[in-house]
């Protein structure tokens, strides 16, 4: 069977959860990466059976998540983590959650994966029009929503089996004006799409790994509700 690492699952409402379920239904083993500040509530809800109804697979069995890794995809290694995050109460309880450390942990625990899913985005100023977006807000959107994919793929490639596949989720706002999707998120998705072409070329040649991004239709996920969709 195949093994998948799905980054960006913190409840049962988003694309990451749905993709994990489809992969589980097709027989894949599921590992997830959960944003550190959301880890506690996700693990607790899962343990208490809150997601049992939505864990149901077509054959009646429940999706098993073999392991949940804390992850913050805006940091590549411990040297990148600023003091205020290190000492933040929501982060202090977890360890090894930078991208490089998560890849190392997965390698140590399982050796290899076949499928990498990037289902995460964040734009702190998403509700601001581009004309009112700060430099920091814009760069943070790119860091969390675009470079996070470059970084994940870079660090997971060495443990991906040849013939494997990687996907991310993009947004039509990369090519059309979508008022309300501000803060540089349009730019972040345009970067994600352009990077997908380059990464497909590079990872395809070097490691025989496919790289794609899917421009899905709207889904009332937590992230979508937060921006009023
Ligand atoms: P979600 O909240 O389930 O997933 C986002 C996840 O990212 C959450 O679990 C966060 O905890 C996690 N996260 C945030 N920051 C970090 C970080 N630094 N490190 C690790 N994890 C982090 O929401 P979702 O399912 O909507 O989002 C998944 C992907 O789908 C994202 O890339 C979205 O941009 C993308 N996407 C979603 C929608 C949608 O409808 N929900 C659309 C397009 C793309 C969309 O809104 N027409 C109109 C609208 C749309 C599509 C078409």
Q: Is the ipTM of this complex over 0.90?
A: yes
pLDDT recorded at residue 227: 84
> What is the Å distance from ligand 1's center to 196 Cα?
17
Query: What is the atom index within ligand 1 of the atom nearest the CA of 18?
Result: 25
User: Is pLDDT of 229 > 80?
Assistant: no
C-alpha atoms less than 13 angstroms from C-alpha of 157 in its C-beta half-sphere: 18
Instruction: Return the active site residues.
Output: 146, 189
**Quick check: 160 and 112 in contact, CB under 8 A?**
yes
**10 Å Cβ neighbour count for 153?**
23
Tokens representing residue 227 in the block = 């921006």
**Section 96-107 average pLDDT:** 98
**Band (99; pLDDT cuts 50, 70, 90):** very high
With a 6 A CB cut-off, is 147 part of the ligand 1 pocket? no
User: Is pLDDT of 169 > 90?
Assistant: yes
User: Is pLDDT of 226 > 90?
Assistant: no
User: Is pLDDT of 181 > 80?
Assistant: yes
pLDDT recorded at residue 228: 80
Q: What does the alpha-carbon distance between residue 55 and residue 47 come to, in Å, rounded to a whole number?
A: 12
pLDDT digits (tens, 9 = 90+) for 28-57: 999 999 999 999 999 999 999 999 999 999
User: Is pLDDT of 168 > 90?
Assistant: yes
Query: What is the atom index within ligand 1 of the atom nearest the CA of 229?
Result: 46
Burial class of residue 154, CB neighbours in 10 A (0-12, 13-18, 19+)? middle
> What is the Å distance from ligand 1's center to 121 Cα?
5
> What is the Å distance from ligand 1's center to 118 Cα?
9
**10 Å Cβ neighbour count for 52?**
12
pLDDT digits (tens, 9 = 90+) for 140-167: 999 999 999 999 999 999 999 999 999 9
Q: What does the alpha-carbon distance between residue 142 and residue 144 come to, in Å, rounded to a whole number?
A: 6
Return the residue whose CA atom lies nearest to atom 15 of ligand 1.
Answer: 122
Which residue in 228, 227, 229, 223 sits closest to 15, CA to CA? 223
Report in angstroms the alpha-carbon separations of 180 from 6, 126, 133, 160, 220: 27, 7, 12, 37, 15
Domains and CATH numbers, the chain: 3-226 (3.40.50.720)
Q: What does the alpha-carbon distance between residue 79 and residue 3 come to, in Å, rounded to a whole number?
A: 29
């Amino acid at each position: 069977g195949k093994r998948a690492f799905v980054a960006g699952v913190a409840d049962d409402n988003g694309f990451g959860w749905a993709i994990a379920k489809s992969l589980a239904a097709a027989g894949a083993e599921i590992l997830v990466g959960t944003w550190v500040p959301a880890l506690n509530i996700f693990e607790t809800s899962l343990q208490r059976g809150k997601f049992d109804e939505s864990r149901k697979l077509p054959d009646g069995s429940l999706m098993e998540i073999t392991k949940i890794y804390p992850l913050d995809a805006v940091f590549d290694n411990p040297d990148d983590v600023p003091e205020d995050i290190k000492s933040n109460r929501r982060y202090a309880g977890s360890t090894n959650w930078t991208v490089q450390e998560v890849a190392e942990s997965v390698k140590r625990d399982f050796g290899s994966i076949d499928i990498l899913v990037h289902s995460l985005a964040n734009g702190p100023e998403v509700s601001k029009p581009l004309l009112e977006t700060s430099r920091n807000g814009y760069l943070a959107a790119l860091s969390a929503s675009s470079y996070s994919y470059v970084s994940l793929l870079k660090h997971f490639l060495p443990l991906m089996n040849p013939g494997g596949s990687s996907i991310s989720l993009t947004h039509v706002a990369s090519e059309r004006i979508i008022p309300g999707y501000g803060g540089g998120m349009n730019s972040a998705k345009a970067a994600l799409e352009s990077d997908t072409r380059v990464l497909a070329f590079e990872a395809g040649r070097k490691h025989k790994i496919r790289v794609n991004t899917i421009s899905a239709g709207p889904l009332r996920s937590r992230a979508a509700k937060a921006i009023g969709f």
